[in-house]
Amino acid sequence: MQGQSDNNSLRRQQQRRILADAFLKMLPADAVIFREEELVPYECDGLSAYRQVPLIVLLPYDTGQVQAILRYCHTNKIPVVARGAGTGLSGGALPHEDGVLLSLARLNKILEVDQSNMRARVQPGVRNMAISDAARSQGLYYAPDPSSQIACSIGGNVAENAGGVHCLKYGLTVNNLLEVTLITIEGERITLGGGGLDSPGLDLLALMTGSEGMLGVVVEVLVKLLPIPTKAQVILATFDEVEAAGNAVAAIIANGIIPAGLELMDNLSLRAAEAFIHAGYPVEAAAILLCELDGSEEEVAVSVKFVCSILKQSGASEVRISKDDTERQRFWAGRKAAFPAVGRISPDYYCMDGTIPRKQLAMVLKKIAEMSQRYDLRCANVFHAGDGNLHPLILYDANIPGELEKAEKFGGEILELCVAVGGTITGEHGVGLEKINQMCAQFPDAELEIFHAVKAAFDPHNLLNPGKAIPTLSRCAEFGAMHVHAGQLRFPELERF
Amino acid sequence: MQGQSDNNSLRRQQQRRILADAFLKMLPADAVIFREEELVPYECDGLSAYRQVPLIVLLPYDTGQVQAILRYCHTNKIPVVARGAGTGLSGGALPHEDGVLLSLARLNKILEVDQSNMRARVQPGVRNMAISDAARSQGLYYAPDPSSQIACSIGGNVAENAGGVHCLKYGLTVNNLLEVTLITIEGERITLGGGGLDSPGLDLLALMTGSEGMLGVVVEVLVKLLPIPTKAQVILATFDEVEAAGNAVAAIIANGIIPAGLELMDNLSLRAAEAFIHAGYPVEAAAILLCELDGSEEEVAVSVKFVCSILKQSGASEVRISKDDTERQRFWAGRKAAFPAVGRISPDYYCMDGTIPRKQLAMVLKKIAEMSQRYDLRCANVFHAGDGNLHPLILYDANIPGELEKAEKFGGEILELCVAVGGTITGEHGVGLEKINQMCAQFPDAELEIFHAVKAAFDPHNLLNPGKAIPTLSRCAEFGAMHVHAGQLRFPELERF
């Protein structure tokens, strides 16, 4: 075994050298990283439980260099993993051990902010927040706002179809794109979409969005911009029962209100956030709802009044309205810092991301509470309630043997429950490597075969981010034997869904 | 030649007989139509300039029968064209001369209206309007409203990604779908989407929407329902110059207002509509804008006031607000009847459907007016101004030799102009057969190759609606020699776009 490991290491060193020589001929020296110690920072993305040093990291300066890299990889059948800012939470940018890690960090120019057509043309390495910063002086902004928006890149947002607290009203990344230019594995430049309402032919722009780097490498993005709302206010509603908060969410939506954001935090998460940020949350509450309304001064006044009355009818024990923008920001600060806040009360946590139909909210929260007891692990619930996107945070201690495995099992059970009630295994974080087994629970073989066929239409040799997002049928067969049947048996009472 | 034609006719008769015998074994007798005189009603859809009698028409009663039909066609390599209500305007449901026309008209059940999750599960043959009718008692409706909504089916809406006057605020069909079940050409049942915010894996639901029957046959659709707005009002604004109306549209959107509908009619079309419907339109106006605002009573009051002030600032000479729902309906009646109204003032008309960036509106209208003079054909402009979706109606007389050809050339030139200014050749009517040549102007070969590869992933033998929507590269080469280069030369001043 030792001899084999040495052989592998030697083989990798040789491969690395060959690649470095080849790429140094087509790229500037500082665009090719191949020394082991310099490769380590790229060994994982935001899902740090999985780590893999790539053969080589490339940091091209322009689209022509991206084309040259992909042509070489295509000719020589070398796997390529594209990476934006590396903030992804599902391991989508985890390097391939025998492949190139292609960072788009240097394609970071905002090419145009077009005020009259309300759009911006940007390179993939531009940070999400930088687009809104650049558009602000013209009264515009880019709506999707993942929690990582200060750091995450628009290219990564396209790859994962990122959402955020405002996606209930303004949509996910896919709803805010007009056009994407990508380089195919053959090195060809292709433009998808095109700025119109509906693009003729097949909707490849939507197909590309959320495809996790498996169809092509994004080198330019045309995004929609929206006028910055004149006014925004947040209502903070306190509930003595989580179920009542869930029902209030349904009541708001059923009354035809689409808030700019509608978030639920349970007691464990709001306590953690309050201790960390001092947002002014009521620490005795079973749950709080944060409901943001935006628009013109008068529209917001009308909607705030209406939503407050719905919240009270739904059993809110207290309703507070942000009195100015400072207070509004403070109400959100607790929510936006909920993940690090939970990090303070537990050595480790495992962030889940599933969706369920809104009406299942109360039932699913009850089942998660039961699982929490059964696994003897705490679980904080923070989520985009308006669109049924759960983010349970499972608290564990990686230093206690077996706790990580227990947390993963707990998480897997939550996702299987999401599927069983008619939801999905990911709301906005993507499948990546983390949820590839759960894809087998989500999709029958026939659907997975179509995924593979479509992937092959773009990338017949499976070189672009191989092993992510779409499980092979044999992987599912293996996983199915272990989990899925058991998973189905776990929720026999839900078979009617 | 006569002998060859007789041979063809004989061969078709034999093929028809073989198919009829085969299908009569798997379907009830009244589901198999093969007598020439009974086939004629299916020879075209809403684009009646193209006609083709199919070999056979099948009218299955359930999904199992659809599967049996497709399995047979797959095994025997027989082309299949699926058809909803046949109201499509681009020839997408034109039969194949050697193929099966598969009507989904009998899959017409509303399977469930789910009030608490605000969704409805329906079969593809259900009429668009019937969904809203069924949901009304629960305070809900289905938002996309193509002009043909009384007749068109939801399956056809999915195939063409249909829009309507309200799609500015509520989106196209693709934005209002949760899940589609389809039968593949191999006869397999596949479910795409799944009710969540974002479906894991590739976004095949969006890919399927608007794919014009080329990837599979839709047998079930889960649509989103929305609460019926408490209040809706329409503003009718009169302009003495078309350009001012165009600029008013941009000003409304730039102020962060998203009207439920925002439509522009020029003098020719509003005069025709007024003469037909007596909607109360100002017949001397160069153009009118119809702007609908919906929401709660108070929200609408606030927004109407705001939009009226924007319209006046933009140069509207008169602004009228619908005083009750009867007047609101009358204002819309003229717009909704604009096409038949134009039909009354001209023996024939050719309806175009292109999109342009909003800021090009005034310039494009000016160029269309110039073309109208050059071709010596009148052109009425009616369109979804808010999203830059033009519907120029070219007036001609098919009985005057050469006029149809001239109208088609005029139309082609309009679409090429749309592409040249950064728009697209179809906003909501689809490509079908009508615009297959313009697809060559819209997309370079590399993009078309990807379309074909994705199509082949679903339908490797090209049996589903062959010859529609995606031109072959050889077709484009041929068309390019005739038109595209000339088309590009036609707008040399636009090359900067």
| Closest CA–CA distance from residue A212 to any residue of chain B (Å) | 8
**B229 part of contact set with chain A, CB < 8 Å:** yes
Based on the number of CB atoms within 10 Å of its own CB, is B492 exposed (0-12), middle (13-18) or buried (19 or more)?
exposed
Please give the share of chain A, as a percent, with pLDDT higher than 90. Answer: 66
Residue type, B267: N
Q: For chain A, positions 105-124, list CB contacts with chain B under 8 A.
A: 116-118
Q: Which CATH number does the domain housing residue A245 bear?
A: 3.30.70.2190
pLDDT tens track for A183-192: 999 999 999 9
Of A298, A318, A340, the residue at which a domain comes to its end is A340
Which chain B residue shows the shortest CA-CA distance from A427? B198
CB atoms closer than 10 angstroms to residue A76: 11
| Closest CA–CA distance from residue B15 to any residue of chain A (Å) | 32
| Closest CA–CA distance from residue B122 to any residue of chain A (Å) | 17
If asked whether residues B314 and B355 sit together in one domain, one would say: no
Confidence at A489, pLDDT banded by 50, 70, 90: very low
**A67 part of contact set with chain B, CB < 8 Å:** no
The pLDDT, as a whole number, for residue B488 is 35
If asked whether residues A99 and A115 sit together in one domain, one would say: no
Rounded Cα distance between B444 and A192, Å, is 11
Would the pLDDT of B25 be above 80? Answer: yes
Give which of A400, A354, A344 is closest to A376, Cα–Cα.
A400
> Tokens 């955020």 map to which residue?
A164
Of A227, A243, A269, the residue at which a domain comes to its end is A227
Structure tokens of B216?
Answer: 């599979």
Confidence at B440, pLDDT banded by 50, 70, 90: confident
Give the best-scoring range by mean pLDDT among A120-134, B160-174, B250-264, B389-403: A120-134
Please give the share of chain A, as a percent, with pLDDT higher than 70. Answer: 95
- Tell me the three state secondary structure of residue B493: helix
List of residues 6+ apart from B390 with CB closer than 8 A: B352, B353, B354, B355, B356, B364, B381, B383, B414, B418, B427
The pLDDT, as a whole number, for residue B133 is 97
Contacts of A182 in chain B (CB under 8 A): none
Which chain B residue shows the shortest CA-CA distance from A118? B254
pLDDT tens track for A389-408: 889 999 999 899 999 899 99
Rounded Cα distance between A482 and B105, Å, is 44
Average pLDDT of chain B is 90
If asked whether residues A122 and A216 sit together in one domain, one would say: yes
| pLDDT mean over A345-367 | 87
> Which of B197, B383, B443 is the mutation pick for testing A, counting most A CBs within 10 A?
B197
Would the pLDDT of B315 be above 60? Answer: yes
The pLDDT, as a whole number, for residue B437 is 83
pLDDT tens track for B231-282: 999 999 999 998 899 889 988 988 888 899 999 999 999 999 999 999 999 9
Q: Which CATH number does the domain housing residue A85 bear?
A: 3.30.43.10
Is the separation of the CB atoms in B207 and B454 below 8 Å? yes
Contacts of B256 in chain A (CB under 8 A): 226-230, 295-296
| pLDDT mean over A332-361 | 88
* Interchain CB distance below 8 Å, B458 and A450: yes
CB atoms closer than 10 angstroms to residue B33: 18
* Number of separate helices (H) and strands (E) present in chain B: 18, 19
Structure tokens of B112?
Answer: 């469930």
Give which of B248, B287, B280, B247 is closest to B264, Cα–Cα.
B287
Give which of A332, A337, A338, A334 is closest to A234, Cα–Cα.
A332
Would the pLDDT of B351 be above 90? Answer: no
CB atoms closer than 10 angstroms to residue B474: 8
Which chain B residue shows the shortest CA-CA distance from A173? B198
The pLDDT, as a whole number, for residue B491 is 39
Rounded Cα distance between B496 and B33, Å, is 54
Give which of B294, B336, B381 is closest to B145, Cα–Cα.
B336
Instruction: Name the phi and psi angles at B221, rounded to 5.
Output: -135, 135
The pLDDT, as a whole number, for residue A6 is 78
| pLDDT mean over B276-296 | 95
List of residues 6+ apart from B14 with CB closer than 8 A: none
Greater confidence, B414 or A48? B414
φ/ψ bin of A12: left (φ > 0), alpha (ψ from -120 to 50), beta (otherwise): alpha
Is the separation of the CB atoms in A344 and A276 below 8 Å? yes
Would the pLDDT of A487 be above 80? Answer: no
Of B103, B134, B150, the residue at which a domain comes to its end is B103
Size of interface A-B (CB pairs under 8 A): 242
> Which of A90, A138, A197 is the mutation pick for testing B, counting most B CBs within 10 A?
A197
pLDDT tens track for B451-467: 999 999 999 999 999 99
CA of residue A26 relative to chain centroid, distance? 33
> Tokens 């890690």 map to which residue?
A101
Would the pLDDT of A481 be above 50? Answer: no
ipTM of the complex: 0.84
| Closest CA–CA distance from residue B259 to any residue of chain A (Å) | 13
* Interchain CB distance below 8 Å, B299 and A303: yes
Rounded Cα distance between A93 and A74, Å, is 19
If asked whether residues A403 and A324 sit together in one domain, one would say: no
Helix, strand and coil in chain B, % to nearest 5: 45, 20, 35
Would the pLDDT of A419 be above 90? Answer: no
Which chain B residue shows the shortest CA-CA distance from A389? B197
**B256 part of contact set with chain A, CB < 8 Å:** yes
DSSP-assigned beta bridge partners for residue A292: A234, A261
The pLDDT, as a whole number, for residue B196 is 59
| Closest CA–CA distance from residue A341 to any residue of chain B (Å) | 26
Structure tokens of A302?
Answer: 């009308």
The beta-strand segments (E) located in A267-340 are 287-295, 318-321
CB-closest option in B190, B202, B226 to A454: B202
Please give the share of chain B, as a percent, with pLDDT higher than 70. Answer: 95
The pLDDT, as a whole number, for residue B487 is 30
Would the pLDDT of B489 be above 70? Answer: no
> Which of B198, B308, B421, B475 is the mutation pick for testing A, counting most A CBs within 10 A?
B198
* Interchain CB distance below 8 Å, A431 and B189: no
Residue type, B200: P
Rounded Cα distance between B378 and B267, Å, is 12
pLDDT tens track for A33-73: 999 999 999 999 988 888 999 999 999 999 999 999 999 99
CB-closest option in B198, B227, B295 to A428: B198
If asked whether residues B168 and B238 sit together in one domain, one would say: no
Q: For chain A, positions 37-66, list CB contacts with chain B under 8 A.
A: none
Rounded Cα distance between A280 and A174, Å, is 35
* Interchain CB distance below 8 Å, B201 and A469: yes
List of residues 6+ apart from A152 with CB closer than 8 A: A84, A85, A87, A88, A127, A128, A146, A162
The pLDDT, as a whole number, for residue B2 is 60
**B462 part of contact set with chain A, CB < 8 Å:** no
Question: Strand pairing of B100-103 and B80-83?
Answer: parallel
> Tokens 């509520």 map to which residue?
B170
Rounded Cα distance between A46 and A434, Å, is 11
**B201 part of contact set with chain A, CB < 8 Å:** yes
CA separation, residue A383 to residues A202, A304, A335, A389 (Å): 33, 21, 9, 6
DSSP string, B377-418: --EEEEEEGGGTEEEEEEEE-TTSTTHHHHHHHHHHHHHHHH
Rounded Cα distance between B435 and B429, Å, is 10
Confidence at B411, pLDDT banded by 50, 70, 90: very high
The pLDDT, as a whole number, for residue B83 is 97
Rounded Cα distance between A460 and B433, Å, is 30
Q: Which CATH number does the domain housing residue B196 bear?
A: 3.30.465.10
The pLDDT, as a whole number, for residue B197 is 58
> Which of B167, B169, B202 is the mutation pick for testing A, counting most A CBs within 10 A?
B202
**B176 part of contact set with chain A, CB < 8 Å:** no
> Which of A202, A211, A222, A225 is the mutation pick for testing B, counting most B CBs within 10 A?
A202
The pLDDT, as a whole number, for residue A483 is 34
* Interchain CB distance below 8 Å, A426 and B198: yes
Would the pLDDT of A224 be above 50? Answer: yes
> Tokens 């537990």 map to which residue?
A346
* Interchain CB distance below 8 Å, A172 and B198: yes
| Total domains, chain B | 4
If asked whether residues B358 and B488 sit together in one domain, one would say: yes
The pLDDT, as a whole number, for residue B206 is 93
Q: Residue B322 is part of which domain span? A: 231-340
Instruction: Name the phi and psi angles at B159, rounded to 5.
Output: -60, -35
| pLDDT mean over A193-204 | 76
pLDDT tens track for B115-143: 888 999 999 999 999 999 999 999 999 99
Contacts of A255 in chain B (CB under 8 A): 227
* Interchain CB distance below 8 Å, A204 and B163: no
Give which of A20, A107, A27 is closest to A65, Cα–Cα.
A27
The string over B114-140, giving b where at least 16 C-beta atoms fall within 10 Å of a residue's C-beta and e elsewhere, is bbebbbbbbbbbbbbbbbbebbeebbb
Contacts of B203 in chain A (CB under 8 A): 161, 174, 206-207, 209-211
Is the separation of the CB atoms in B60 and B124 below 8 Å? no
Rounded Cα distance between A125 and A205, Å, is 19
The pLDDT, as a whole number, for residue B419 is 87
If asked whether residues B292 and B256 sit together in one domain, one would say: yes
Would the pLDDT of B103 be above 70? Answer: yes
CA of residue B197 relative to chain centroid, distance? 26
Give which of B145, B216, B225 is closest to B178, Cα–Cα.
B225
If asked whether residues B356 and B459 sit together in one domain, one would say: yes
The pLDDT, as a whole number, for residue B493 is 40
If asked whether residues A210 and A301 sit together in one domain, one would say: no
Q: How many CA atoms lie within 13 A of B416 on its CB side?
A: 23
Confidence at A197, pLDDT banded by 50, 70, 90: low
The pLDDT, as a whole number, for residue A495 is 33
Would the pLDDT of A479 be above 80? Answer: no
Confidence at A490, pLDDT banded by 50, 70, 90: very low
Would the pLDDT of B482 be above 60? Answer: no
Q: For chain B, positions 386-415, list CB contacts with chain A under 8 A.
A: 387-389
If asked whether residues A323 and A235 sit together in one domain, one would say: yes
* Interchain CB distance below 8 Å, A116 and B359: yes
Rounded Cα distance between A494 and B2, Å, is 67
The pLDDT, as a whole number, for residue A486 is 28
| pLDDT mean over B81-100 | 94
Residue type, A470: I
CB-closest option in B174, B211, B446 to A190: B446
Rounded Cα distance between B154 and A174, Å, is 23
Average pLDDT of chain A is 90
Contacts of B439 in chain A (CB under 8 A): 200-201
pLDDT tens track for A287-329: 999 999 998 888 899 899 999 999 999 999 999 999 999 999 9
If asked whether residues A416 and A432 sit together in one domain, one would say: yes
Greater confidence, B436 or A379? A379
Rounded Cα distance between A143 and A380, Å, is 27
The pLDDT, as a whole number, for residue B163 is 87
If asked whether residues B261 and B314 sit together in one domain, one would say: yes
**B495 part of contact set with chain A, CB < 8 Å:** no
| pLDDT mean over A421-440 | 84
